[in-house]
């Protein structure tokens, strides 16, 4: 490539002025956020592995538990999980085989299927949520400090 032709950057950052250096605190803040998230996710993977479920299955259980009356339409579950309907069906198939969820026809729309937690699913999500909450709170100081630093630096601009 000729020296007078500049390559287009591989990544575009909205709101960043090219050539203007970022405050070094931005890098420290971003590193802190990522470290807190990585610590949390590492502990999460250990807990999920012990429970014999995947991260995606845990997320689905959380979505179902958070839904009104702890039941959710299959289409809504797919939307909340950012996945295609057929992928959500396969995920629910695996959760149902594990005894964690059940399906029932919607009383208001017979074309829709509602997915809910079984008694075992309730026990599993409760235990995992408690452990995840503790892990998240253990990382709160680093995350809060990093986010505060980033907010302060962003407001200076």
Residue range 105-131, pLDDT digits in tens: 999 988 899 999 999 999 999 999 999
Is pLDDT at 153 greater than 50 in this prediction?
Answer: yes
Separation in Å, CA 16 to CA 61, 100, 115, 124 = 38, 46, 44, 44
Question: What is residue 15's predicted lDDT score, i.e. its pLDDT?
Answer: 56
Separation in Å, CA 47 to CA 1, 73, 75, 100 = 50, 28, 28, 17
Average pLDDT over residues 24-45: 96
What residue numbers bound the domain in which 149 lies? 24-156
Is pLDDT at 55 greater than 60 in this prediction?
Answer: yes
Residue range 90-109, pLDDT digits in tens: 999 999 999 999 999 999 98
Separation in Å, CA 20 to CA 16, 28, 152, 153, 155 = 8, 18, 18, 14, 16
Structural domain includes residue 3:
no
Number of domains present in the structure of the chain: 1
Residue range 15-31, pLDDT digits in tens: 556 778 999 999 999 99
Structural domain includes residue 8:
no
CATH of the domain at 129: 1.10.10.10
Structural domain includes residue 68:
yes
Structural domain includes residue 10:
no
- How confident is residue 156, by pLDDT bands cut at 50, 70 and 90? confident
- How confident is residue 6, by pLDDT bands cut at 50, 70 and 90? low
Share of the chain above pLDDT 90, in %: 78
Predicted model pTM = 0.82
């Amino acid at each position: 490539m000729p020296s007078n032709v500049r390559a287009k950057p591989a990544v575009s950052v909205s709101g960043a002025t090219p050539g203007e250096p970022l405050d070094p605190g931005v890098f420290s803040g971003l590193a802190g956020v990522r470290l807190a998230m990585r610590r949390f996710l590492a502990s999460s993977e250990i807990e999920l592995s012990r429970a014999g479920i995947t991260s995606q299955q845990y997320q689905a259980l959380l979505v179902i538990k958070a839904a009104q009356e702890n039941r959710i339409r299959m289409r809504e579950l797919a939307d909340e999980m950012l996945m295609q309907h057929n992928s959500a069906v396969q995920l629910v198939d695996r959760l149902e085989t594990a005894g964690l969820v059940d399906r029932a026809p919607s009383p208001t729309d017979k074309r829709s299927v509602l997915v809910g937690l079984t008694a075992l699913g309730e026990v599993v999500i409760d235990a995992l949520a408690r452990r995840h909450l503790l892990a998240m709170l253990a990382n709160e100081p680093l995350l809060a400090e990093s986010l505060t630093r980033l907010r302060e630096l962003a407001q200076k601009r």
